[in-house]
Amino acid sequence: MSRHAGGYSADPRIRAVEWLPWIVAVAAFFVLPEYLSLGARILIYILYALSLDLIVGYAGIVTLGHSAYFGLGAYVAGILSAKAGISDPMLQLAAAAVAGGLLGVVTGAIILRTRALTLLMLTLAITSVLLEIANKASSLTGGADGLSGVVVAPIFGMFKFDIFGKTAYLYCLVVLLAGWWLVRKLIYSPFGTSLTGVRENSLRMHAIGAPVYWRLVLVYTLSATIAGVAGGLITQTNQFVGLNVLSFESAGELLVMLILGGVGRIYGAFVGPVVYLIAQDMLAKQFPEYWYLGIGTMLVLVVMFARGGILGIFDGLLAKLRRQA
């Protein structure tokens, strides 16, 4: 599962190995029924990490504020249900997507005029402002207590969200499948290739007449939309929204997951959240006080010895095997 780079000579057909994550996801549904709520959480974070990979890995926009769009999506879906009484999951998800996208286009249009550290600081500022708004507007958001009373009606009026999380898991899996298909399509398209061009050399992209700024605003908006959907899903599966969805920690944690899995290779966004959230779950049970130490050690090892993330390690091994063969 090497890098997925797109481009004018890349074969866009889905390779056999790319079905592996889906087979694992379906198998997990049958084999590990007691872990389905953790499973759903992982699926949501994969979608969230995919949206981040699109801008970080392909367009080269580094951000520490992606939780703004995830969090907004989460709150919009939650408020729609708890305050406006709209309990249809599809409507909630669509509203979360639109909200994420709208915030993406407005904030993107402002911050993408800057670059590097300035851009990074601005992404942080946006999510901090949103967090403070959510904290203060407690009549709408529940403030620090969180927003409870989220009701999600059966999907298409047929599939009820059950207490074992079976419906939620499959629902998240289907939404993730759609998100993956979209992101993959984008990466292999001329648009995706031009984003890679911006990442590699934005000066030259300007010189060949590419409207670099608008391309970046567009991909940022698409990414924010997907993050909004992921946020909507987290609300629907938890039936609760806490302030932490908007926090800087959540955005940082997401970036850590992506780096752990591997940046700019689509499936790094799959591997990262799986490893991170399972490790978090296991370590938190074993060492409730020190589990961050384990996560930290893992990240240090990856950054020091595997710059391409966990998938990068496999790439290296495969290359070695081929040389020997």
Partner 1 sequence: MSAVLETRALCKSFGALTVADKIDFKLEPGARHALIGPNGAGKTTFVNMLTGVLPPSSGRIMLGGEDITALGQATRVKLGLGRTFQINALFRRLPVLDNVALAVAERRGVAPRMLRAASAHADVRAESMELLATLGLAEDASQRILDLPYGKQRLVEIAIALGLKPRVLLLDEPAAGVPSLESHRILQVLDKLPPEIAILIIEHDMDLVFRFAQRITVLVQGEVLVEGTPEEIGKDKRVHQVYLGEQRHG
The DSSP secondary-structure symbol of 159 reads B
Q: How far is the CB of 233 from partner 1 (least distance, A)?
A: 24
Is 2 a residue that touches partner 1 (CB under 8 A)?
no
As given in the structure block, the two tokens for residue 208 are 């060949």
Which of 174, 208, 301, 319 is the binder for partner 1 (CB under 8 A)?
208
Is 316 a residue that touches partner 1 (CB under 8 A)?
no
The three-class DSSP label of residue 155 is strand
- Element containing residue 173 per DSSP (H, E): helix 166-188
As given in the structure block, the two tokens for residue 219 are 């991909």
Nearest to 114 by CA among 61, 52, 45, 175: 61
Q: How far is the CB of 189 from partner 1 (least distance, A)?
A: 5
Cβ neighbours for 171, distance < 8 A, ≥ 6 positions apart: 89, 155, 159, 161, 233, 236
Distance CA 221, CA 224 (A): 5
Q: Which stretch, 19-27, 171-179, 197-205, 297-305, contacts partner 1 (CB under 8 A)?
A: 197-205
The DSSP secondary-structure symbol of 14 reads P
Q: What mask of x and - would describe binding to partner 1 in positions 135 to 174, judged by CB under 8 A?
A: ----------------------------------------
Is 185 a residue that touches partner 1 (CB under 8 A)?
yes
Q: Which amino acid is at 87?
A: S
Is 220 a residue that touches partner 1 (CB under 8 A)?
no
Cβ neighbours for 65, distance < 8 A, ≥ 6 positions apart: 122, 123, 124, 125, 126, 127, 248, 251
Which of 4, 6, 51, 224 is the binder for partner 1 (CB under 8 A)?
6
Is 178 a residue that touches partner 1 (CB under 8 A)?
no
Is 9 a residue that touches partner 1 (CB under 8 A)?
yes
Which of 191, 240, 248, 291 is the binder for partner 1 (CB under 8 A)?
191
Is 201 a residue that touches partner 1 (CB under 8 A)?
yes
Between residues 215 and 265, which has the closer beta carbon with respect to partner 1? 215
Is 309 a residue that touches partner 1 (CB under 8 A)?
no
What sign for the dihedral angle of Cα 310, 313, 318, 321?
negative
Which of 42, 96, 131, 205 is the binder for partner 1 (CB under 8 A)?
205
Q: Which stretch, 100-108, 120-128, 201-209, 251-259, contacts partner 1 (CB under 8 A)?
A: 201-209
Between residues 186 and 313, which has the closer beta carbon with respect to partner 1? 186
How many residues sit in the footprint of partner 1 (CB under 8 A)? 32
Q: Percentage helix, strand, coil, to 5, in the chain?
A: 75, 0, 25
Nearest to 195 by CA among 210, 182, 179: 210
Which of 210, 278, 298, 313 is the binder for partner 1 (CB under 8 A)?
210
The three-class DSSP label of residue 147 is strand
Is 192 a residue that touches partner 1 (CB under 8 A)?
yes
Q: Which stretch, 6-14, 49-57, 74-82, 130-138, contacts partner 1 (CB under 8 A)?
A: 6-14
149: left (phi over 0), alpha (psi -120 to 50) or beta: left
Whether 295 contacts 68, CB under 8 Å: no
Q: Which stretch, 131-139, 202-210, 282-290, 307-315, contacts partner 1 (CB under 8 A)?
A: 202-210
Which of 16, 116, 203, 321 is the binder for partner 1 (CB under 8 A)?
203
Q: Which residues bind partner 1 (CB under 8 A)?
A: 5-12, 185-186, 188-194, 196-197, 200-201, 203-212, 215
